[in-house]
Amino acid sequence: DQQVKQNSPSLSVQEGRISILNCDYTNSMFDYFLWYKKYPAEGPTFLISISSIKDKNEDGRFTVFLNKSAKHLSLHIVPSQPGDSAVYFCAASAGGGTSYGKLTFGQGTILTVHP
């Protein structure tokens, strides 16, 4: 049962344009959502997150939107740069306690930004 899904395996965008990466989830107990970026031969690195009580969080060129009723979130990158080319993972967590450290990840979306 895939609780977090990224239905687009890849996305290609021109430099300077907007990149929109999408993520859907099924577990209504998730209370935090995170985006990680991964370059080849490196571990995933944290990018941005959002609490389930918010609908938007912005950090520089990166904005995450959450539509709780649709169980959908998206990551917007504006403007896109060639250095943004990487695999982007959506992840979700369901609070602390026994779930501490447990992130449920999507399959990832490969973003390619062309100069």
Partner 1 sequence: SAVISQKPSRDICQRGTSLTIQCQVDSQVTMMFWYRQQPGQSLTLIATANQGSEATYESGFVIDKFPISRPNLTFSTLTVSNMSPEDSSIYLCSVATGHSSSGANVLTFGAGSRLTVL
Task: Give the binding site for partner 1 (CB under 8 A).
Answer: 2, 4, 32-34, 41-46, 48-51, 54, 57, 59, 89, 91, 93, 96, 98, 100-108
Beta carbon nearer to partner 1, 44 or 80: 44
Total Cβ atoms within 10 A of residue 23: 26
What is the four-CA torsion angle of 17, 59, 82, 85, rounded to 10 degrees? -110
Beta carbon nearer to partner 1, 17 or 54: 54
CB of residue 16 vs partner 1: minimum separation in angstroms? Answer: 27
Total Cβ atoms within 10 A of residue 27: 12
Please report how many Cα atoms fall inside a 13 Å half-sphere around the Cα of residue 77, on the Cβ side: 25
Q: Which of 23, 34, 48, 53 is nearest to 93 (CA)?
A: 34
Beta carbon nearer to partner 1, 69 or 98: 98
- The three-state secondary structure class of 51 is strand
Q: Which of 105, 74, 77 is nearest to 5 (CA)?
A: 105
Beta carbon nearer to partner 1, 2 or 28: 2
CB of residue 111 vs partner 1: minimum separation in angstroms? Answer: 16
CB of residue 8 vs partner 1: minimum separation in angstroms? Answer: 14
CB of residue 112 vs partner 1: minimum separation in angstroms? Answer: 17
